[in-house]
Amino acid sequence: MAVLGNAYLWLLAAHILFVIFWIAGMFMLPRYLVYHQEALAAGRTDEAATWVERETKLRHIILTPAMTMVWLLGLTLATVGQHWGEGWLHAKLAFVLALSGYHGWAVSYAKKLARGEARLSGRTLRMINEVPALAAVAIVILVVVKPF
């Protein structure tokens, strides 16, 4: 554990970088879903197929690997930094868990769109697009301010 303790700042830097990658992807995927759904609604099947390809690449290259690294590094940091008893960490984990659930929902909806099943309105998708931003604000405040 001493070796990890000496590497704490490197782990933290890596964690922050993967959070940036994950959140960037979480901003992109819902926007892709809007464009994908609009192409489906307009009957532009070639364009819809292109969105399926883009969504799949985004998930496989950025989103899922980044989320996995965020969780691994975050749990390591919590352990090495001995933060498990701190309330801010529990609240942060609740938001990260919710964001992970949102990630899962977005992936699931992308797969439904790939099958031609559009169940939400464009307006609803645009509103849902704001979830990662709200989660990021809460998480940053909890980590930096540590209100409890």
60 annotated binding-site participant? no
Looking only at Cα atoms, what is the longest distance across the chain? 59
User: 31 to each of 15, 70, 148, how far by Cα in Å?
Assistant: 25, 22, 34
* Distance, CA of 1 to CA of 18 (rounded, Å): 22
* Distance, CA of 46 to CA of 134 (rounded, Å): 34
92 annotated binding-site participant? yes
Which residues lie below 8 Å from residue 116, measured CB to CB, with a gap of 6+?
A: 40
Radius of gyration of the chain (CA): 18
Angle subtended at Cα 93 by Cα 129 and Cα 112, rounded to the nearest 5 degrees: 35
Counting DSSP H helices and E strands in the chain, the numbers are 7, 0
Return binding residues: 15, 92
Known binding-site residue numbers for heme = 15, 92
